[in-house]
């Protein structure tokens, strides 16, 4: 269900779905290796990356 929502958001916003899935997989891997707090820090950085990317595509 969550992947379906992510897929729909990616499709409507023009985000490369494969790149988005790799980012999610990376986030899960960080949780496994370094713990939740490190994953959240990296997740925030990934979120900021996607926001900046979306802004640059609008220009």
pLDDT in tens, 4-55: 776 777 776 666 777 777 877 887 787 788 887 777 777 778 778 878 887 8
Q: Is 35 helix (H, G, I), strand (E, B) or coil?
A: coil
Alpha helices in the chain (DSSP H): 2-13, 17-34, 36-58
pTM of the model: 0.45
């Amino acid at each position: 269900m969550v992947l379906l929502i992510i897929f729909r958001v990616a499709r409507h916003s023009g985000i490369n779905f494969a790149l988005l899935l790799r980012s999610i997989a990376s986030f899960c891997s960080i949780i496994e290796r370094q713990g939740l707090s490190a994953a959240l820090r990296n997740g925030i950085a990934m979120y900021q990356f996607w926001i900046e990317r979306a802004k640059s595509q609008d220009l």
